[in-house]
Structure 1
Amino acid sequence: MYPLIRPLLFSFNAETAHLITLETLQLAYRLGLLPMFVKHPKDNPHKVMGLTFPNPVGLAAGLDKNGDHINALARLGFGFIEIGTVTPRPQEGNPKPRLFRLPEAQGIINRMGFNNHGVDALIENVKRADYRGILGINIGKNFDTPIEHAATDYLTGLRRVYTYASYVAINISSPNTKNLRQLQGNDELDALLTQLKTEQEKLADTHGKYVPLALKIAPDLNSEQIRQIATLLQRHRIDGVIATNTTLTRAGVEHLSQHAETGGLSGAPLRDKSTAVIRELAIALQGTLPIIGVGGILSGDDAAEKIHAGAALIQTYSGLIYRGPGLINECVKAIGNLHCGVE
């Protein structure tokens, strides 16, 4: 049904359509209507970061920032869900408009700026949810926390979400929080990972539960930066890496009227850039830790390409906007065929 509904959704501005979609999905879930329209993919278990994922296709962070819609989203057939990015304190994010569709290129530009209700509100939503599958919680820093004190926010976030998360994603790669990507620098990242790993070990001892950490990185890294990050991930025994966030480049969309909007570009224009980073990461890491591939997945073939490049799991977000929930099943099937040797 999604191809029939999409023109109506696209008649609204992008952020309004986003809210309408989530509220409609929530209503359909409460009324028990989702099974009529959504076919769950067959189980295709993958063990990654010590966790068993029922299938390798997840929801990327950003769609459900506050964990308001966990149950409904889970009913779409995802193998795992990542909520956030959440910050220690609530914040409104950047001024509107801040979300723009590029339909001709199947792309999206956003400069949301970590708009969220704060970590305490997210935790209350997680506690209310019935979902017991794999739940990633993506944490970031508040916009007004100086970059030299960013670790304080990440440590606060880690401590607060630790017992509620299957894994915790560390977002240092959003282009929409000033100076955030500086944390990907060699010295800055070394210092941050040192503190996060120490805190993870303390929390594991305190709670008797080991919760993996995954670092989310940008696509706008050169080969040397990718190798440096890979080295630090191995040195600090980080459990996974999510590649990638949105891009600041506008390659392939320069001719579109909204290409000059500031923010991160996702969707189809990001696909090749994200896959290239995954491929380089896979070579540098040599299987020492898993890669979660995200960026420009709008078909089963795109998902299979990410796995070919070295990803163990994939996530989608922008692809859902253009393709709808049928994309999930398509990706699960394509990855399953890949593992069975079917091209």
Structure 2
Amino acid sequence: MTPTDRLAERLGLALLHRFDPERAHGLSLLALRAGLAPRPGPVQSARLATKLAGLNLPNPVGLAAGYDKNATALGALVKSGFGFVEVGAATPLPQPGNPKPRLFRLSQDRAVINRFGFNNEGAEAIAARLAAHPRGAVPVGLNLGANKTSTDRAADFARVLAVCGAHVDFATVNVSSPNTEKLRDLQGAAALSALLAGVMDTRAGLSRRIPIFLKIAPDLNSDELAELAEVALAAGVDAIIATNTTLSREGLTSAHKGEAGGLSGAPLFEKSTRVLAQLSQLTEGRLPLIGVGGVGSADQAYAKIRAGASAVQLYSALVYGGLSLVGEIAHGLEALLARDGYDNITQAIGTNRGVWL
């Protein structure tokens, strides 16, 4: 990014921060669709290229779900530097989500609290956009959710996969959002086993096999985490995303710290990385892990990888750093790998896990 482009981005971010956070979110997507953000393409190098659950990634820096909920800006996002992109969450039926306001910037903490509640246009509308997006070098996945009013939330995940699965490169089972009442109850062993069995049966009926990821909460204790890892391995999940947002408010200073919802951003980094390292130890390399939570720099991405992640995702940091942060992290990650003598990202996975346990 040129100095002029970077200045324009900073001015754009400052302008967006003058709006209500949810309005700013929508405006940023509009700007992407209008071509008002640079599109450098994915950052690529032999050192960063990796394979994740059978997916070839040009680099291990991905976009987490929640930003492009309805897959409206895919054309721009896959050209923004990411190595993979996740959209959604999608539910079988359209739903408005929770009442507004439901998104809050915690600027002093470089964090965000949201209680969106899976607001989206529904699986059919999202599937149509995914179908229109040509597959390319950057894999695109979909976060699967459940309708708030559903009488069988576990079955909703399979329903969304049945509608959208043919048009994505991977799908994520999201039972870890804190913003749909009792959704996190589906992380229990029996409920999760049944839910995943339904998803896997649906995947078997698709025209091609796609990897299934499981996204977990950071608020699980050691016993719950061990139980969840056992269920995921038994079910044949292809990767675990660790973690979603937290209900903790420890150490926050911003005015909105008391708002209900899931906290993401910088304060989540240590908590989510400890969960990641524990999960790495529990699974012993038997399935890849994706580190999410508080990634806002190359050093933090590298820490996640050295704690056990095969790849990372970010979203909240973009609120404060802009899309240019994606390229900065990827290029910085390459420099850190070179500094430590690694020829490829895979050689660094888990090499510093012990400090987080």
Q: TM-score scaled to structure 1, two decimals? A: 0.93
Does residue 117 (structure 1) correspond to residue 121 (structure 2)? The answer is: yes
Q: Deviations over 1:177-201 (max 9, x none)?
A: 0100000011111221222223323
Match of 1:144 among 134, 140, 149: 149
Q: 2-side partners of 1:299 and 1:64: how far apart?
A: 21
Q: Deviations over 1:122-163 (max 9, x none)?
A: 0111122245230111111001113xx222211111111111
In the alignment, which residue of structure 1 is the partner of 2:257?
Answer: 259
Q: 1-side partners of 2:155 and 2:142: how far apart?
A: 17
User: Secondary structure of the equivalent of 1:314?
Assistant: strand
Asked whether the equivalents of residues 215 and 241 of structure 1 are also in contact (C-alpha less than 8 Å), the reply is yes
In the alignment, which residue of structure 1 is the partner of 2:351?
Answer: none
Moved more, 136-145 or 122-131: 122-131
Written as runs of structure 1 = structure 2, the 5 A alignment for 1:241-256 is 241-253=240-252, 255-256=253-254
Q: 2-side partners of 1:91 and 1:176: how far apart?
A: 13
Q: Deviations over 1:171-228 (max 9, x none)?
A: 000000010000001111122122222332333xxx2x11110001001111111111
User: Secondary structure of the equivalent of 2:65?
Assistant: coil
In the alignment, which residue of structure 2 is the partner of 1:85?
Answer: 89
Q: 2-side partners of 1:136 and 1:338: how far apart?
A: 28
Give, as a single letter, the amino acid of the residue that structure 2 aligns with 1:269. P
Give, as a single letter, the amino acid of the residue that structure 2 aligns with 1:3. R
Written as runs of structure 1 = structure 2, the 5 A alignment for 1:143-292 is 143-146=148-151, 149-203=152-206, 207=207, 209-253=208-252, 255-292=253-290
In the alignment, which residue of structure 2 is the partner of 1:23?
Answer: 30
Q: 1-side partners of 2:183 and 2:75: how far apart?
A: 31
Identity of aligned residues (%): 42
User: Secondary structure of the equivalent of 1:273?
Assistant: helix
Q: 2-side partners of 1:274 and 1:181: how far apart?
A: 16
In the alignment, which residue of structure 2 is the partner of 1:312?
Answer: 310
Shift of 1:85: 0.1
Asked whether the equivalents of residues 219 and 247 of structure 1 are also in contact (C-alpha less than 8 Å), the reply is yes
Give, as a single letter, the amino acid of the residue that structure 2 aligns with 1:182. D
Asked whether the equivalents of residues 304 and 334 of structure 1 are also in contact (C-alpha less than 8 Å), the reply is no
Does residue 9 (structure 1) correspond to residue 16 (structure 2)? The answer is: yes
Moved more, 313-322 or 43-52: 43-52
Match of 1:331 among 324, 329, 334: 329
The 4+ residue runs of structure 1 with deviation greater than 4 A are none
Give, as a single letter, the amino acid of the residue that structure 2 aligns with 1:84. G
Shift of 1:335: 2.9
Moved more, 109-118 or 230-239: 230-239
Q: In the superposition, relative to structure 1, how do residues 128 and 197 fare at CA in structure 2: closer, same or farther (>3 Å)?
A: closer
Give structure 1 stretches of 5+ with no counterpart.
none
Q: Deviations over 1:57-98 (max 9, x none)?
A: 111000000100000111211111101000000000011110
Asked whether the equivalents of residues 304 and 331 of structure 1 are also in contact (C-alpha less than 8 Å), the reply is no
Q: TM-score scaled to structure 2, two decimals? A: 0.89
Q: 2-side partners of 1:338 and 1:220: how far apart?
A: 30
Q: 2-side partners of 1:186 and 1:269: how far apart?
A: 29
Asked whether the equivalents of residues 41 and 78 of structure 2 are also in contact (C-alpha less than 8 Å), the reply is no
Q: 2-side partners of 1:327 and 1:302: how far apart?
A: 12
How big is the alpha-carbon RMSD for the aligned residues of Structure 1 and Structure 2? 1.6
Give, as a single letter, the amino acid of the residue that structure 2 aligns with 1:232. V
Asked whether the equivalents of residues 307 and 335 of structure 1 are also in contact (C-alpha less than 8 Å), the reply is no
Shift of 1:104: 0.3
In the alignment, which residue of structure 1 is the partner of 2:350?
Answer: none
Asked whether the equivalents of residues 63 and 313 of structure 2 are also in contact (C-alpha less than 8 Å), the reply is yes
Give, as a single letter, the amino acid of the residue that structure 2 aligns with 1:265. L
Q: In the superposition, relative to structure 1, how do residues 307 and 110 fare at CA in structure 2: closer, same or farther (>3 Å)?
A: same
User: Secondary structure of the equivalent of 1:34?
Assistant: coil
Shift of 1:39: 7.2
Q: 2-side partners of 1:40 and 1:54: how far apart?
A: 7
User: Secondary structure of the equivalent of 1:293?
Assistant: strand
Give structure 2 stretches of 5+ with no counterpart.
1-5, 342-357
Shift of 1:51: 1.1
Q: Deviations over 1:223-261 (max 9, x none)?
A: 1111111111111111011111100010111x4321111
Shift of 1:330: 2.1
Q: Deviations over 1:261-289 (max 9, x none)?
A: 10000000111111011000000000000
Give, as a single letter, the amino acid of the residue that structure 1 aligns with 2:149. D
